[in-house]
Amino acid sequence: MSAVLDTAARRDLYALLARLFAAEVDVTLYLALLAQDRLDFIEASLRAESPEAAVEALAVEFCRLFIGPQPPCAPYASASLGEALLGGRSRTRLEEFFQRVDFMYDTAPTRIASPDHLAVTLAVLAHLYAHADLTRHVAAFLQ
């Protein structure tokens, strides 16, 4: 297997990561991940639990890391950059970029407060890799 991911594999990886950072894992997604986990990324202690108990443990950790109070891994660029307002300049820059690459993202079903969320960034990368004519924007987006 090549160490370099092809375009479709990158698209799928970014789409999966966007989903994982957007909201807690549900039982359906957990079972799908478990079935595909050939590299044993899911810890043995979690595998030993029922799917419902494992999902509950993952939800607790998701909330501790990304929601808070005082989350150690704030998923918003504006929070990471210390901007005064959630979204702020980071949101403005991203929305301008979204217009250039014709990207639409509905944050409502995921409870994401601003498009400068890590999940949205990953969804944009999936979008760019899904459209070969847009891949030239990937380097600009990552800067």
Per-residue model confidence as pLDDT tens digits over 68-95: 888 899 898 888 888 877 778 888 888 8
- What's the pLDDT at 103? 83
Q: Per-residue pLDDT for 26 more than 50?
A: yes
- Answer yes or no: are the C-beta atoms of 53 and 46 closer than 8 Å: no
Can you tell me the distance from the alpha carbon of 106 to that of 139, in angstroms, rounded to the nearest whole number? Answer: 24
pLDDT band of 99, cuts 50, 70, 90? confident
Model confidence band, residue 3 (pLDDT cutoffs 50, 70, 90):
very low
C-alpha to C-alpha distance for 95 and 89, rounded to whole angstroms: 10
Amino acid identity, residue 15?
Answer: A
| C-alpha distances out from residue 86 to 23, 44, 64, 117, Å | 18, 37, 19, 10
Pairwise pLDDT comparison (101 vs 122), residue with the higher score: 122
Q: Choose the weakest-confidence range: 6-10, 51-55, 127-131, 132-136.
A: 132-136
